[in-house]
Structure 1
């Protein structure tokens, strides 16, 4: 299988298709007030995104950013709803929804290249920001430890998705996915784990830091030099100009005022440690790994494959740590094939959501190569 350029006709056509139908959504807060999920209109960005989003050049990041909105999620550790950031699907279909998580300290913009291709394959697709990262409204900063992240994702699923998910987790997002599937098996149909960081023992010694040192470390975490270096490590082949732009994409959520508090809370809580949960996963799983991963060794892919009871594995050549960014066409095809495997084939057209005229539908298909 040959990966296409990020300027491939398929990607550009998909972007054009989905960038032209933006509209405002209205939603109710839990306490009865009416709130606005500030989705972009006519190419504008949601008002809750940092103003620096306008400086991003990546056309796919810009297009997906215009679709980010906030939905209310009621959680037990907060008196009010958390307005939780996500990208909602354009349509609903019979296949179980694909729900895309992101990696450590990232956001749904991580799926900027692959999201439109997965959606174009006629899959109901969500991209959800994990509590404490992404673009949710945390004006009253909640606890952002593993338990609260898990509970928030469950309440998001229970309130808005409501059907068993094909849950996709890249890097640390794979640990989030495994932890969630073990604790809430009724919410998960299948798992897809990409470059899975699941053998790290939480935040390790960082959880023992005095608070003032933790804040100093977190400030370094959002610095441009560190993020730039992380991008150079993460991708197998990337130009310097693209690396700078993707650094701006990757740190955009760090510019929200509650990011430091939420990240310190997570760091000091100990983080995810799911190595002992892996063998408890009963779901059918797909492992995707870049053969040139410089962050999580591809040797761990074989270990994970041997420990998951019901898993297939697909390694992508000439690819680094984030295949869904670097080789989006391959990853989208793998996700689509895996999502449909074992599903009943029905000839119903998908129901288009958020349509201006509520009548239009698109032909969704990914051409075979």
Structure 2
């Protein structure tokens, strides 16, 4: 059975992929929790995107998973780009979802510096709930908001600040043209975090990349329009 590995974004966790695991019965779905986040919130957060990629590859090796399809969301999309760079022979198909090729995001709902200052001032739980709201078109009124906020609340202030530093110091632009893995780029058309220019850069720079735009969604299309999102994934992995 083919494995599909999901890598969550900043302040995310494995539990946010439950709907995808249930919708892909023909695949072995593996949802990771990065150090400092989700069910691994007790672990020390890492200070670089490349470090998270190395950790993820080692974790999969320890689980006996050598080849797999790979899905990365938001910060996780940066991490999976690094995983492809470090071990291209292990990845059959790549999904870059709600992400980009630079850690400093043009048009982000606030700058990374502002996020760091507000996190220190407000504390981790308030920060978790505020940032989780930006992922949804309906913000706090979204059906999946409370579950995502609960996952985000597991993060310590150190994990929040370290994750922001890791993103701020990362760029994968120069490596995009070298990606040979069959790639699908997915974007919610009302994403507040990643503007179209980031999505377009991925789509146009990776040879033969496919593009799927999910309408009337913000940053968490897999939770806002799960049936459409899941059908796009299944189609891409099955053909």
Q: Report the TM-score, using the length of structure 1 for normalisation.
A: 0.56
Asked whether 1:220 is paired with 2:122, we answer: yes
1:267-287 C-alpha deviation (Å, 9 max, x unpaired):
455543222222221110011
Partner of 2:231: 333
Provide the residue aligned with 1:316 in structure 2: 214
- Tell me if the contact between 1:290 and 1:317 (Cα under 8 Å) persists in the aligned partners: yes
Mapping 1:55-134, distance limit 5 Å: 93=1, 96-118=2-24, 120=25, 122-134=26-38
Alignment deviations for residues 2-45 of structure 1 (CA, whole Å, 9 cap, x no partner) = xxxxxxxxxxxxxxxxxxxxxxxxxxxxxxxxxxxxxxxxxxxx
Moved over 6 A (4+): none
> Against the structure 1 CA distance between its residues 228 and 137, is the aligned structure 2 distance closer, same or farther, given a 3 Å change threshold?
closer
Quick one: structure 1 residues 220 and 280, their matched pair in 2 at CA, closer, same or farther if it must change by over 3 Å? Answer: farther
Per-residue CA shift, 1:131-173, capped at 9, x if unaligned?
232222746x374433431221111121214231111011121
How far, CA to CA, are the matches of 1:221 and 1:282 in structure 2?
Answer: 42
Alpha-carbon offset, residue 244 of structure 1: 5.7
Out of 78, 85, 88, the residue aligned to residue 185 of structure 1 is: 88
3-state SS of paired residue (1:193): strand
Mapped pair 1:146 → 2:52: no
CA RMSD of aligned residues (A): 2.9
Q: Tell me by how many angstroms 1:229 deviates.
A: 3.8
More helix by proportion, 1 or 2? 2
Q: Contact 1:117–1:332 at 8 Å: present in 2 too?
A: yes
Call closer, same or farther: CA 1:317–1:205 in 2, change over 3 Å.
closer
- CA contact under 8 A between 2:74 and 2:100: conserved in structure 1? yes
TM-score (norm 2): 0.83
User: Quick one: structure 1 residues 234 and 310, their matched pair in 2 at CA, closer, same or farther if it must change by over 3 Å?
Assistant: same
SS in 2 for 1:112: helix
Name which structure has the greater RCO, CA cutoff 8 Å, separation 6+: 2
Gaps of 5+ in 2: 106-110
**Do the aligned partners of 2:100 and 2:202 also contact (CA within 8 Å) in 1?**
no
Alignment of 1:1-369 (within 5 A): 93=1, 96-118=2-24, 120=25, 122-136=26-40, 138=42, 141=44, 143-201=46-104, 206=113, 217-218=119-120, 220=122, 222-224=124-126, 226-237=127-138, 240=141, 242=143, 245-246=146-147, 248-254=149-155, 259-268=156-165, 270-341=168-239
